[in-house]
Amino acid sequence: MNVYDFTVKDRMGNDVSLKEYEGKLLLIVNTATGCGFTPHYDPLEAMYKELRDKGFEILDFPCNQFANQAPESDDEIHEFCTMKFGTEFPQFAKIDVNGETADPLFAYLATEKPFEGFGKGLKNAALKKFADANNKKYGDKTYIGWNFTKFLIDREGKVIARFEPTVDMDEVKAAVVSAL
């Protein structure tokens, strides 16, 4: 099994087989418009513009499961991202990434590369406490710790890395460049 076995919904509600991205290096991200990590859109878009011609794609999946930080409709989220951050990478329909209603893609990604913590430091400890309180309702189906968790997928559709939102975007870019 790999990511090409999954079908997701685009923001218009149409089925999209991830097989369409076969042979490309993918960064799959769960996002939110009202999160402290929303500024990650800037380095994500810069990376996309720089590397897409080399076979790199970013797949954006908005999610409202983290402190109600993406309450807007799919169209409103798309408008926010394109107007504020100039995003051009594909954005899909809003999904759940945790619990009984978690999208199967994210359950798979998190099973392949489980959560290992937000890292060290006071800021990361504060996020962990907040995330734990938010996510306890999902129990053993808590797959994603917070918004802007990123999964790097190789050209064969295998999950090769997971980056929590606390990981510096320069580190994410270095991993992408190395995998290209």
For residue 132, what pLDDT is reported? 92
pLDDT per residue over 126-178, tens digit each? 889 989 998 999 998 999 999 999 999 999 999 999 999 999 999 999 999 99
Residues spanned by the domain of 150: 3-179
Q: Which one-letter amino acid corresponds to residue 21?
A: Y
What's the rounded Cα separation, in Å, for the pair 50 and 36?
A: 25
Phi, psi of 152 (to 5 degrees): -95, 125
Mean pLDDT in residue range 30-44: 95
Q: The domain that contains 171 carries what CATH number?
A: 3.40.30.10
At 148, list the tokens: 């802007």
Instruction: Write down the mean pLDDT value for the chain.
Output: 95
What's the rounded Cα separation, in Å, for the pair 33 and 77?
A: 7
For residue 123, what pLDDT is reported? 84
For residue 121, what pLDDT is reported? 86
* Number of domains the chain contains: 1
Residues noted as catalytic: 35
What's the rounded Cα separation, in Å, for the pair 149 and 74?
A: 19
Is pTM beyond 0.75? Reply is yes
